[in-house]
Amino acid sequence: MHTIREATIDDTAIIIDLAERTWWPTYSPILEKEQIAFMLGEIYSFDKISSQLQTGTQSYLILEEEGRPVAFAGYSPRDEDSNVYKLHKLYCLPETQGKGYGKILINEVMRKTLEAGKHTLDLNVNRHNKAKDFYEKIGFRVAYEEDIPIGPYWMNDYVMRKELI
């Protein structure tokens, strides 16, 4: 049995823990360990996540399995275009992958996007991440490629988009 709930500032440590436990197995095959450690420190610092939750600049959903947090999603209106929402983060613990939790979380983000009166959802995915296939299966298409500097590293991504009805 699973439940989804809105994250609060009290969930900051849970989000960071889930990120640490999913990023290493997800990115170790495609990125150097120094880059993974750097990006985790930048994107998932306690101050950054708690600030996002406190100010509402990013909303988070936590999916729990039998009361235990196992996955999360982070989303917001897109900075450059408030008519578009962006799924910033979607991670499921490796042992829960294949249970449909990623799709459940995306469906909830799509519902919240439509609820906000918006009809486009974007996300970034590393060009070598096998999650691209998952996103394509649920209707996302590559809109363009984007290379984003992060410290001394680069995120080499596809921006994928889904029009919501």
- Residue-wise pLDDT for 40-59, tens only, equals 999 999 999 999 999 999 99
Nearest 5°: phi and psi at 58? Answer: -145, 135
| Identity at 125, one-letter amino acid code | V
Rounded Cα distance, 102 and 108, in Å: 10
Read off the pTM: 0.95
pLDDT digits (tens, 9 = 90+) for 136-156: 999 999 999 999 999 999 999
The total of other beta-carbon atoms located within 10 Å of residue 45's CB is: 13
Which one-letter DSSP state was computed for residue 95? G
Which domains can be identified in the chain, with CATH numbers? 2-163 (3.40.630.30)
Question: Cβ distance 18 to 61 under 8 Å?
Answer: no
